[in-house]
Every structure is written in C-alpha cells, then in structure tokens.
Structure 1
Amino acid sequence: MTIERTFDLLENLRQNHNRPDVLVAKREGQWIKFSAEDYSRTAKRFSYGLMSKGFKKGDKIATISNNRPEWNMVDMGMSMLGVVHVPIYPTLGEEEFKYILQHSDARMLLVSDKALYNKLKPIVDELENLTFIFTFNFYEDIPHWGEITRIGENARVKCKDELKAIRDQISPDDLVSIIYTSGTTGMPKGVMLSHRNFISNVMATSSLYPLNPGDRILSFLPLCHVFERMVNYLFQYKGCSVHYAESIGTLSQNMVEIQANAFATVPRVIERIYDRIVSKGEDLTGLKRLIFFQALKLGEKYRVNGKHHFWYGFRLKLARKLVFSKWQKAFGGQLRFVVSGGAALQPRLSRLFFAAGIPLLEGYGLTETSPVIAVNHLSKPDSLYIGTVGPVLNNVEVKIDEDGEILVKGPNVMLGYYKAPEATEEVIDKDGWFHTGDIGRFVKDKFLKITDRKKEMFKTSSGKYIAPQMIENMLKESFFIEQVMVVGENEKFASALLLPNFEYLHGWAHDHRIHFRDNRELITLPKVLKKFQKEVDTYNRQLGKHEQIKRFRLVFEDWTANTGELSPTLKLRRRTLYKKYAHVLREIYAYSEGEENRGKHKFEE
C-alpha cells in the first residue's frame, strides 16, 4: 500500500504485520502485548471520541508522558482526524510547561500519571483554551483517557463514515505535529512538521538497516524526542515488536529480558553504559584486569573500513572471546546494531562497540529536519566512516556554505516555526535551504563531519576561533572525565570546567590510598588535581596551540536535565552553566566581582 501520511503506517501494520506483539510494555512485572488489531481499533476509537467532543482538523492536543503503547494510540488517533499532536518532555519546569501549553493553543492535555496531573492541573485551570486533562494511568478520582475511547466506541457507527471522509482529505503536506525544541537558551520554538516530513525520513532510512518483522526493539528515549518518534515509526513500518523500557534505570534488565535486536540512543546513554563497563573492569584484579584493559586499548584501534594485520586480528578474536563476549551477553545476546543521534558521539566509543561485535552507528539531524539528514549504515560496504555522521540520505540535499555552515533542502525540512514567521525566515532562505547552525565538511566527498555549532564557536582575544564541542568530546575520552564545558570567548586562552567521573575517580583514589570525606573535598586534593592536569596535558598535545586548555577547574555537582545543566536531549545548557559557575569562571580569569563582562561570558544572565 502507498504510505504518505503517518496513520498509513498503522494500516500497513494491520494489513502486513498483524502480529500479537507490535507494541509491548511492562506492567506490574509482566510484559503486556498489544496486537496490530488492538492498536488500530483503539486509535480509531480515540478518533471517534475526539469527534464526539467537538475536535476537528487543526485543533491541538498535548501529551506529557513516559513511553508507552497508549502514546502511539493517541498519536495515530489524532493524525487520522487531522488533530495536531504536541508532545512535551515530562522533565520541563513549570514555566516551560505553561509557555508551551499556552503558545501551542492546546485544547486537551494527556499526562501519564497522578504526579504530573497534580503538577499541571493548576496550569490547565489558568489557561482558557485548555479545557480537558486526562491521565493514561487509572485513578478513581481523576479523569482517565479511557473515557474518550468509551465515548468513541459508542459513537463508532455514527462517526465511521465521517472519519473515513476526513482521513481521505488529509494531505501529506498537512501539519501533523508541533515539537517544541528543547533549546539550550531561552524559551523553545514550536517546530511544525507535516506527514511528508516524517514519512520521507522513514522511507529514506528503511533500507539502511537489517530490520525484520518481529525483531525486538527496546525504546527508551522520550517519544516526544523527534529522533525516537521517527525511528518508532520506522520500526512500525518494518513490522518490529517495540518494547518500551520501564525507565532509564532498568535498561540493562529490560534489554536482557527481551533479548533486544536493536535500539536508538543518544551519546550520553552510551557513555554511561561504557562507564559502568569500565568500573566493572576496575574491580578485577591481576591477569583478568590486565586482559580487560588490553582489550579496551585494542578496541580503540579498530578500523571498520580498513584491513587489520594478522596479529591484530588474532588478538581481537581473543579479546572478543575473553572480554567482549560479556558485553554482548549484557545486552541480551541478540543485539545486532545501535544507532546514536542527538549529539556528537566519541569515535573511540564507536570503534570499541564495533570491536565488540556491536555496530554503533552515528547519525545527524535536527528537530527541524524530521530529523535525519545523514547517517552511517550497514546496507553497503562503503556506507560507514567512524568519526563522521555518514552519507547524506538519498532524498536530502546538503551543501556547505561559505562560512562552513551546513545547509539542507528536502522533503524532511519543517513547515516552519509555529506563530514565528520571522524566526522561520531567519533559518529557511528564499531558495528553500534550511540553515542548520552547525559547522561541517565532507570527508572523502561523501561522509558528513560535524565540527561544531556555529553559535557555540567563539574567538579568543587574539582573534583565533575555537570549536568547543570538538575539544569537549576529545576530553571526555578520558576515563576520569564525565562532562566538560570549554570557555574562553574574548579571553587570552581557553579554559574548561571538568565534572569528574566520580565512580572511576573513587576507584583510582582507593588504589592510591587517597582519603577524602566527600566529592567536594576530593576535587581539591593535590594528587587529584595533578592527575587531571596530566589528563588535560595528554589531550592538549592533540590540539593547536590556541585551542589548548590552559586552565581548568573541577566541579562536584552532577549535571542533569532535572537540575537544568543539560537540556532534555542531554546537551549542555551553556547559559545555565555560565551562571551556576560564575564564581569559578571569575577565579579562572582573575576577575573581581562585577568585572566579568570584560570577557563577555554572560556569567550572570
């Protein structure tokens, strides 16, 4: 069948992959399966229920929820009626919730649980346009989304023909969703995406990966994240069985339980997984410990497209048997590949996972491009290059502007920003090219390499440009460093805030008989500072003189999305970090109180 709109995926699933487990969730310790028929029937009931409540094409409904089968059911129910889905991150603050709910003109809000209901009900009561709020979980004293599907079932006979007529009139270019960018500064912008935007991306990526009907996928990135949303559609198109993880904390357990074949992720999750693997290696002793870390060193030299000499191949075979086989077992034993997006992936991690027999493939895109622009894949021998984000999709055009900015044109480019025509004109020029704000270049005339964000690059006082993301990613290759922010705009030299990998640092401190009361004290100890200086010096040797980190300071508080230092997509919120560590940055650059504007760091914004 022809697939042009998101809800066509549902009919394709019902007709061609009518499996009993297309969507699966864990409830009270048991994996509960939903068939293609269950999915389709409930989505239609939701549409009928919305029609009965007076919803029509162009109306907006917001969801704030964890990943679950019901999210898909309401998503498809909205799309076949022409209602616009506004998915929102559950981790936002009240100010952002209120802004999005008001700005989007949402008439209904669906939330996952009682805690979110209680948090958002006062906001809903303030907003005139927002008249309904329901929960997905059942509570006796709170409106449940099942009320809508029950109304829909009762109205099925009356609404069936009308819904079909509405569906038939929906164009691929109609608005299907508004996704508010997580943003690292200021309030988010509403990205308007059409059916064609999503479906063009699904079709362009569908032949790139070895996905088969019935393959088990673990989904844990938020479905309000455009990357997870698109691959969720892709998995459904391929007839896979999508299992929704209970939480980030249960990933390993859930992966083993379902024996996952693939999953999509962001680099931060891979970094955390790798940190746990290394910490287990640190617990080993004697020969086992030596073999473990020798295997890691060997893996870092893995070349996907190059030929390894016999001695390397022999040692890799041994490392896979003694060390890397345990990695595969930890992922459930059936993992065929992982796709990473949302931020820059350390090439070292990709090499290590390939060495372990688990292809870790990096891609690139933005919310505004639905999202994939380029991605490494496995369909051809020359479709992969570690350290790049891969070849550009075959239905997308990319060119590099004079200043190095990546420009994109294609059916995946957004309709525009909601209620913001001027902001839209700033990023989509008169010739239809979308200006990504990322700086990049082509490697071997084929593979796109991202070097930094245009807005995040800065000049030192000597006029030399510094690309902080590249340096930050390099420093994070150290076992000792979990997070980094490079600073130095309009200063004589670059500096960095370093958040240690405390799990690894504690092991090192124990081995070196370093005693400390807590992390606050640990980062001040001379032996620790000397060790971090040695780590920074190692990476400085790989950098140009003007890029080298001349000074650094260690910090001890976690940087998370919940506490605001990271965006919901786990990118650095630089403005927040500048403000939080203004006193530290003043010390680095020897400012006195009130003198910090000399460096234009926006310390107190």
Structure 2
Amino acid sequence: MANKACNEVVTVANMPMTVFDMISAMQNKYADRVAFRYVEGKDTVVEKTYDQYVQDIRKATGYLQQELGEPKGKKIVILSRTNYEYGAVVFGTMMAGAVIVTLNQGKTWAELEYELGMVEPDLIFNDGIDYGYRAQLEALYGARLRPMDAWTAAPEAEMVNRIDHESLLMLMFTSGTTGRSKGVMLSEKNYFTACQMYINGQKDILDQEERLAPQYLDRNFSHFTLVPMFHLAGFICYFVYGIQGWTLNLCCDARDLRRDMSLMHSDAMSTPPVLVEMIYNEIKRGHADRLNGLWNLSCSSAILDPAILSELVKNGFYINQCYSMTELAGYGLLNVTQEGNHLRALGKPDGFCEVKVDENGEICVRGGCVMLGYYKDPEATAETIDKDGWLHTGDLARVDEEGYYYMTGRKKNLIILDSGENVSPEELEKLLGKCDAIKECIVKEMGKKIGTVVCCEDDKQQQVKAFVTELNRTLPMYKRISVVECSAEPLPRNALGKLLRK
C-alpha cells in the first residue's frame, strides 16, 4: 500500500478547495489507502479504504435522490454517535446538494426538540439507540427517521458537483449565552479556508515525525478520533485527513478508549483537556506503552497547564494548539511552538484570514472562514459580524512583541469544561429561577466544576439544595450543578446593577 513517505506532501498550493475535488482525489490518488479503522465486537479491527469510502458516499447520494427526488437545499440531520456510516452520510448529503445538520445526541429532548423544530428536517439519520427520548423522537419524526446504514443497497450516484461554494452547506449548533443554542451556517468556502491553516501546520508535524516516531514513517499517518463528529474539532478531521489521504481511527464510545487505542496505532489525537491530563498521568506512572505509539496531540489553546504540556514535550510529544470557534469553521490561531514560554499562547495569525485585537481588546476575524450567519437569527448575526465583515469572537487578548496572542479574559460567560463541552450559565440560571426559595443566583465554574451561588433565606437552604438535586436529574451529565453555595446576603453587583460572576 502507498505510504506517506513516498507520496507528494499536500500543501496549501496544491490542496483541493472543494468537496468534489477532495472526493475525486480520494478516488484517484488514495484509493488503496485506509480511510477508516474501527473496532467491531470485542476486538476485531475493521478497515475501510478510500475506494470503499467513495463508493459509500455515492450510495448515500443515490439514496437521497431516491428518497427525496431533488435533494438540493433539503435539510438532512444526523443524530447519532460516531461511526463509519456518519462520514458517508455527511459527504453523500453534500454531494447531493443538500444541507447536512449534525446534532448532539446527548442533549435533552427539550434542547433537541427546539433544534429540530428550527431545522425542519426532511430526513433524520439515527443510530437507533435510546438516549432517553426515543418515544418523543418517533412520535414527532417517525416517518422521517432512517437508520445510519439505510443507503447501503442504493445505487451509486454519478459524481457531479452540486455544491454552491459560498452557499449554505452545513448547520452546526453551538452553545449561546442566552441559553438557547444557535445554528451556525457554514459554507464549503468556510471549511476549505479553515483547512488551509491546518494543512499549512501539518508540515511542521511531518517534519517532526522522523525525529519523534521514525518507526512509523512507512505507515499512513493516522488520527485517533474520539471527539464527537457533531463537535467541530471532530468534524474538521473529515476534511483535513481526507484532503491528505490519511486515516481516521474511530473510537465510537469513550468507554472503549483504552481498548481501541491498544488495538489501533495512532500518530495523532485531538484531545479535550481531561484526556491530555490522562495521557500525562500515564507517562508519569511509566505506562507510556498503553498509548500505542501516540506522539502528536492537538488541543485547544490556552486551556491546559503549560507545565503539563512542557513535560509532554520533554517525553517525546509534539503539541499543536488551536484557538477557534464554530463560527469560524475551525479557523483561528494555531500554536505549534514547543517552547515553554509560549505554550500558554493562543497562537499566531497565519495570513489566510485577517485577525486583529480591536480597540476594546477583543479578538476579531475577517475573511473566507467567517460563517454565513446564525440560522433564522439575523439579530444575533448582526451582533456578531459588524458592517465591515469582522466577526467579534467575544474573547479578549493581548499580542506580544513576537506576534503571539494571549487570552486575557472572556467577554462571553460560557463555561468551558475539561471535557470540551460548553455550558451556558444563563440557561442554568433560568432553570434555577423556577425555585421559589431562590431570590437571585449566578452559575459559574468552581474548581473545574459547575457551581451556583444562591441568595436565599437561611431556613431555605435545604429546599434549594433539594431543588438542585431534582434539576440535575433532568440535565445531561456535563451540565449538572456540582457545587451549591448559599448566602442570605444579596449577591454583589457592579455599578450598572449587573450581577458579578467573579
């Protein structure tokens, strides 16, 4: 099988810039390479080549044409955990000219009902697992539900480019500070602009492989994919690795992390903070062998302890950090330094889009990566993208003399957990406000947990805590409130009367 050592390295100058060209390259250049691996049953590793992958994409396109007649512009939802079929549905939908929508199956039914109602899906591909709302899903959308592999017997559609480069290609939902998620409208142009940053950064990674992992030079570069595909950090891998003909090793269930890692060697891994700490602890305990050759970690910028990152570098890891957001299709600031003094930086701009810190200290971005807007929410769009096309991220930063950006604060109040999940405090505060005993409250991060500070009478504290216990039963695990602090005194406010969160 062809390997990375004897093939032309993909660069920004020669990379495909459309989904059609990317899939054509998969078929024409990478047909025999392994596109995906995953574990089936107890310990059977299944491999799918790019040739098989492209055939399945074409079948998924053919299925949509059979089901919908003309799929152009139709909304196709995926509500499923990660699996091989997910990618075929994603690109089959895109090649049909339809709009793909990825939803978080771990949300509550109330959240999903809101998002599905906004999207008005034509079809919903679902893994059939009951996440606690199966009856409601079938009652409202039963006729539109399809299994993830519904397309396997369909004829392969002709490869035709049906995508409008600057029009709506995908809806991806992101947490909002109002407590309601927003549908981020992204185009093909958005994704491939973002991919330029990653492809440009991959050269630094490959340059390190001969030094850090020479034993794997004759193998196709592979990525351990644990981050869910409804999350941009997972989803962007479909593009970045597909463009280069590399391999995604799918971990379909986090509970199988150690098993899957032991059965599938991976060079790289996109990691939420909690996993970086796990890897660090494995090395400290002398169990580096459990990582099965993993040597490249990708993580969010400025979230992890630089001391941990520095120790990982000393132990043979190459760390690349990225600052981005869904509204930028994964573009932002890339930090590939391995030097301790810059490990806490967000990164540097690379020139593919414009990045600046404005007069208020806020990071702003302009260019081909900027979303089309928020779906059915022109007001929120106008608040985020100004008249000159600058997207205001809500994050505050400073720039040092070497051009590195450093986070100085968050204009937004989102709580970013070690798992990588974002939680809106306003959403939880609204729910807490339903308790008669609570006069006012704030929700914030407390020691890496979600906590609340509540103003209530002393004799109402037990009532408040009982309410929180019951509320937690209705929330996803990552949104549950772990710390409750009660005070009989009014909570502190600023000069404008707004509650202070610090």
The normalised TM-score by structure 2 is 0.76
User: 1:598 Cα deviation (Å)?
Assistant: 6.5
* SS of the residue 2:360 aligns to: coil
The answer (yes or no) to whether the contact 2:177–2:413 under 8 Å persists in 1 is no
* SS of the residue 1:335 aligns to: coil
Equivalences for 1:21-420 in 2 at 5 Å? 21-28=34-41, 29-54=43-68, 55-116=70-131, 119-126=133-140, 131-136=143-148, 145-146=149-150, 148-150=151-153, 152-153=154-155, 156=156, 160=158, 164=160, 167=161, 169-183=162-176, 185-209=178-202, 210-211=205-206, 214-274=220-280, 281=285, 326-327=287-288, 329-332=289-292, 334-341=293-300, 344-377=303-336, 385-420=342-377
| 1:401 partner letter | D
User: 1:384 Cα deviation (Å)?
Assistant: 9.2
Supply the distance in 1 between the matched residues of 2:91 and 2:127 (Cα, whole angstroms). Answer: 17
Change (3 A) 1:454 1:2: closer
| 1:400 partner letter | V
Supply the distance in 1 between the matched residues of 2:308 and 2:26 (Cα, whole angstroms). Answer: 35
Q: Deviations over 1:455-492 (max 9, x none)?
A: 339xxxxxxxxxx99xx99xxxxxxxxxxx9xxxxxxx
Supply the distance in 2 between the matched residues of 1:566 and 1:393 (Cα, whole angstroms). Answer: 34
Supply the distance in 2 between the matched residues of 1:92 and 1:496 (Cα, whole angstroms). Answer: 20
The answer (yes or no) to whether the contact 1:267–1:345 under 8 Å persists in 2 is yes
Supply the distance in 1 between the matched residues of 2:447 and 2:193 (Cα, whole angstroms). Answer: 41
| 1:330 partner letter | R
The answer (yes or no) to whether the contact 1:7–1:79 under 8 Å persists in 2 is no
Matched, 1:422 2:415: no
User: 1:220 Cα deviation (Å)?
Assistant: 0.4
| 1:218 partner letter | F
User: 1:12 Cα deviation (Å)?
Assistant: 1.3
* SS of the residue 1:53 aligns to: helix
Which residue in 2 is equivalent to 1:529?
none
Q: Deviations over 1:427-461 (max 9, x none)?
A: 0001000000001111234111122211339xxxx
Q: Deviations over 1:474-530 (max 9, x none)?
A: xxxxxxxxxxx9xxxxxxxxx983469xxxxxxxxxxxxxxxxxxxxxxxxxxxxxx
Q: Deviations over 1:315-368 (max 9, x none)?
A: xxxxxxxx5xx43x2311x22311102872221221121111112222100000
Q: Deviations over 1:34-67 (max 9, x none)?
A: 1111111111111111111124211101111122
* SS of the residue 1:207 aligns to: helix
* SS of the residue 1:41 aligns to: helix
Between Structure 1 and Structure 2, the one with more helix by share is 1
| 1:585 partner letter | E
| 2:129 partner letter | K
The answer (yes or no) to whether the contact 2:301–2:345 under 8 Å persists in 1 is no
Which residue in 2 is equivalent to 1:444?
401
Supply the distance in 2 between the matched residues of 1:62 and 1:231 (Cα, whole angstroms). Answer: 19
Query: Taking every aligned residue pair, what percent have the same amino acid on both sides?
Result: 23
Which residue in 1 is equivalent to 2:21?
8
Instruction: Show structure 1 runs of 5+ residues with no match.
Output: 137-144, 282-322, 458-467, 474-484, 486-494, 501-556, 568-575
The normalised TM-score by structure 1 is 0.64
Q: Deviations over 1:52-108 (max 9, x none)?
A: 112421110111112222111011100011111110112100001111111012111
Which residue in 2 is equivalent to 1:585?
485
Measured on the aligned residues, the alpha-carbon RMSD in Å equals: 3.4
| 1:415 partner letter | L
| 1:12 partner letter | A
The answer (yes or no) to whether the contact 1:223–1:229 under 8 Å persists in 2 is yes
| 2:220 partner letter | G
Change (3 A) 1:46 1:251: same
Q: Which piece of structure 1 moves more, 237-246 or 88-97?
A: 237-246
Structure of higher RCO (CA pairs closer than 8 Å, 6+ residues apart): 2
Between Structure 1 and Structure 2, the one with more strand by share is 2
| 1:199 partner letter | F
Supply the distance in 1 between the matched residues of 2:118 and 2:333 (Cα, whole angstroms). Answer: 31
Supply the distance in 1 between the matched residues of 2:164 and 2:341 (Cα, whole angstroms). Answer: 35
Change (3 A) 1:382 1:602: closer
